[in-house]
Chain A
Amino acid sequence: MSDWRFTARQLAKNPLSLTGVVIIAIFIIIAIFAPLIAPTPAGQLNSYMIPRDGYWAEPQPPSAAHILGTTQGQYDIFYGVVWGARSAFRVALVVMSITLLIGIVLGSLAGYFGGVLDEILMRITDIFLAFPWLILAMALVVVLGPGLKSVMIALIVVWWPSYARLIRGDILQVREEDYVEAARGLGASSGRVIIRHVLPNAIYPALIMASLDIGAVVLSAAALSFLGLGAPEGYADWGQMTQFAQNWIVGPLDNPLKYWYAVIIPGLFILFFVLGWNLLGDAFRDIFDPRLARR
């Protein structure tokens, strides 16, 4: 309990971290209350699909019916950005939790048992780390067939090696500690030693890194959607909504910024979401990793 209070006090002390907390809190509220903030029209089965008002291409400015206007194809921007918060959290949570799980399992096995297993696993991570991230993700999405599920699988494939390596390195240190030796001496099984004694003391750096990476995961997913490889057309996804604006960045000669709302709004949501996580991750690192905080 005192740990929590300490963390909370540290977060409140720094205006930047506090900003991060507030931003993420707002996004959580938006995501939870999405059905109330932007109700799904009656008769529509999938709430994640943005309702559209007609089929003509040109975006329409904010009006009473569409308070943030409509983007290309008459998709309602307000509905899209609100439900897009849910999509963003979903991608972040799914990708990050599976990445952590794979990283923990493989990293622990490699770090604790060492030897040939360690060597093989590390050489496999070498192969994955040999690719620039977006290019590996892009290749995987193209092969798996574009879509959100492929994007999530691709991002997990891109991220797990760094976590496996980080956790392996920490386990290598912790397994030499006296209390681990003592547990082994008392006859505890390998599984019990890893789960009860080694992991709890080796996992924090990975959790900090995860909080720092969530922003990057969401940014990558948005980039893939922007490139036209992610969400299906009309899905509430900020990256895709930015792509919809791509044909409308320049308005007619007498009003070049005519379609500003279609370009600016979805991107602002991505920016603030990622910014919130980055501020929070930065703060967590300062609090939990005193070695880094001094710098």
Chain B
Amino acid sequence: MELRSYIIRRVLLLIPVLIGVTLFIFGITMLFPPAQRATLYVTNMRQLSDLPAIIQKYGLDKPFFVQYGTWLNQVLHGNLGWSRAISMPVAQAIPHLLPATLELAIFAVPLIVLVGIFLGTKAATHKDKPLDHGTRVVAILGWSLPSFWLGLVLMMIFYGYFSGLLPPGRLGVQMDILVDSAAFIRYTHINTIDAILNLNGPVLLDALRHLILPVMTLSVINMAFIMRLMRSSMLESLGKGYILTARAKGLAEKVVVNKHARRNALIPVITVSGYLFAGLASGAVITETIFSFKGIGWWAWQAAVMLDIPSVLAFALFTATLFVVINLLVDILYTRVDPRVRLGGAVQ
């Protein structure tokens, strides 16, 4: 019962943030004079002489909140404008390109979380030993690396030096034709999953081959972040009284570390998984751009360099909404994992 009212309250708190986000996005477009915004509706040159008529027709000279209402109404009906970057409506572009980005995330997230937690635990149990110093150096190096440069260097080695071993893109030309043919059913548009469902080995292998470098590029920085967080959280947990109790009971060190310390140390790591999403979303723009991995991050970059403002803003609105919702889910999950969190807000 308590949890339900907590969820309802949190969802209600979400509304002002989302209104703020839409106001901000819309406010940015209002920085432009009406005539310039009217050009977005122009489809051929002759209409340029009719700008006043277009301003009149779409009410571009009306007061701010009237225009905001019109715009919000359009957005809520799924009309996010036209994307010049890939010549289709934004509302179609996002579902069209999202599977590629999801595919990257499906591989990157478990890699980041598992390796990060594993190395973070090891660093904490070997505090001030060579292993700890080693992971510290790796972590600092990891988040100092420009990911776009890392991607280029990886490609230079594995695409250039090893002549085409791990190529950019999502699939090779042959496989690309194959997956679009009638013989291959697109269940999800996520290549690896579709390949498994179609029991098609060559497509699976080719898809994996194209995934290795982007997934590595996307993972390095976030992995370093989770690793350091896990280390400090683990150290705090290891210093607690219940660890002393567990050791005093004569439990094996492995049980103490894995069962007692790590389980509690994981809680702070869960709370930052929202930030992990933000890191992945930003990283996806860079990674997909370098590897021509055509997902929504690649599309956002295309739109940005073409100064396709409606697409960039629609993308920002989409990721912000997703980010806010994910943070809400994380907070709710948190209450399930950590029973100490009292839903009223105060800690017991």
Residues of A within 8 A of B (CB): 16, 123-124, 126-128, 130-136, 138-143, 146, 215, 219, 222-223, 226-229, 239, 242, 245-246, 249-251, 253, 256-257, 260, 263-264, 266-267, 270-271, 274-275, 278-279, 282, 292, 295
The smallest beta-carbon distance between A134 and chain B, in angstroms, is 3
**Interface residue tally of chain B, by bracket?**
35 or more
Known contacts A242-B148, A245-B152; A123/B20 CB under 8 A: yes
Closest A residue by C-beta to B308: A142
Known contacts A130-B21, A278-B143; A227/B155 CB under 8 A: no
B-chain residues with CB within 8 Å of residue A295 when the two chains form the complex: 231-232, 235-236
Known contacts A126-B17, A130-B21, A130-B323; A270/B152 CB under 8 A: no
Q: Which segment of B45-53, B158-166, B170-178, B187-195 sits at the interface?
A: B158-166
Cβ-defined contact, A138 with B300, below 8 A: yes
Query: A266 CA to B146 CA in the complex, in Å?
Result: 11
Contact of B323 among A132, A229, A249, A266 (CB under 8 A): A132
Cβ-defined contact, A134 with B285, below 8 A: yes
Flag whether B31 is at the interface (Cβ < 8 A). yes
B-chain residues with CB within 8 Å of residue A282 when the two chains form the complex: 140
Known contacts A257-B160, A263-B156; A227/B24 CB under 8 A: no
Cβ-defined contact, B160 with A251, below 8 A: yes
B-chain residues with CB within 8 Å of residue A245 when the two chains form the complex: 152
Q: Is the interface of A mostly helix, strand, loop or mixed?
A: helix
Known contacts A135-B316, A139-B316; A274/B285 CB under 8 A: no
Could you list 24 examples of A-B contacts with CB < 8 Å?
A: A16-B137, A126-B16, A130-B20, A132-B323, A133-B278, A134-B281, A134-B285, A136-B316, A139-B313, A143-B28, A143-B29, A222-B148, A223-B147, A223-B148, A226-B286, A227-B148, A227-B305, A246-B290, A249-B159, A256-B161, A257-B160, A260-B156, A270-B146, A274-B144
Query: A267 CA to B319 CA in the complex, in Å?
Result: 29
Cβ-defined contact, A140 with B28, below 8 A: yes
Cβ-defined contact, B149 with A242, below 8 A: yes
Query: A246 CA to B285 CA in the complex, in Å?
Result: 16
Cβ-defined contact, A135 with B281, below 8 A: yes
Known contacts A222-B146, A227-B301, A270-B146; A249/B324 CB under 8 A: no
The smallest beta-carbon distance between B164 and chain A, in angstroms, is 9
Closest B residue by C-beta to A276: B144
Flag whether B251 is at the interface (Cβ < 8 A). no
**B 308-348 binary contact with A (CB < 8 Å = 1; else 0):** 01001101100110011000000000000000000000000
The smallest beta-carbon distance between A77 and chain B, in angstroms, is 14
Known contacts A130-B324, A250-B159; A227/B286 CB under 8 A: yes
B-chain residues with CB within 8 Å of residue A270 when the two chains form the complex: 146, 149
B-chain residues with CB within 8 Å of residue A135 when the two chains form the complex: 281-282, 285, 300, 315-316, 319-320
Query: A132 CA to B170 CA in the complex, in Å?
Result: 25
Listed from nearest, the 10 A-B pairs whose CB atoms lie closest are A267-B149, A134-B282, A127-B20, A250-B160, A256-B160, A275-B144, A132-B278, A132-B281, A274-B144, A139-B316
Flag whether B289 is at the interface (Cβ < 8 A). yes
Query: A136 CA to B319 CA in the complex, in Å?
Result: 10
Q: A134-B282, A227-B305 are in contact. List 6 more A-B contacts (CB 8 A).
A: A16-B140, A127-B23, A131-B316, A138-B312, A139-B312, A227-B148
Flag whether B141 is at the interface (Cβ < 8 A). yes
A-chain residues with CB within 8 Å of residue B320 when the two chains form the complex: 130-132, 135-136
Query: A127 CA to B24 CA in the complex, in Å?
Result: 8
Cβ-defined contact, A256 with B309, below 8 A: no
Closest A residue by C-beta to B234: A295
B-chain residues with CB within 8 Å of residue A130 when the two chains form the complex: 17, 20-21, 320, 323-324
Flag whether B145 is at the interface (Cβ < 8 A). yes
Query: A223 CA to B289 CA in the complex, in Å?
Result: 11
Cβ-defined contact, B143 with A223, below 8 A: no
The smallest beta-carbon distance between B75 and chain A, in angstroms, is 15
The smallest beta-carbon distance between A182 and chain B, in angstroms, is 30
A-chain residues with CB within 8 Å of residue B29 when the two chains form the complex: 143
B-chain residues with CB within 8 Å of residue A134 when the two chains form the complex: 281-283, 285-286
Flag whether B153 is at the interface (Cβ < 8 A). yes
Cβ-defined contact, B152 with A267, below 8 A: yes
Query: A120 CA to B20 CA in the complex, in Å?
Result: 11
Contact of A227 among B17, B149, B304 (CB under 8 A): B304
Flag whether B209 is at the interface (Cβ < 8 A). no
Query: A275 CA to B277 CA in the complex, in Å?
Result: 24
The smallest beta-carbon distance between B65 and chain A, in angstroms, is 17
Contact of A271 among B23, B149, B315, B324 (CB under 8 A): B149
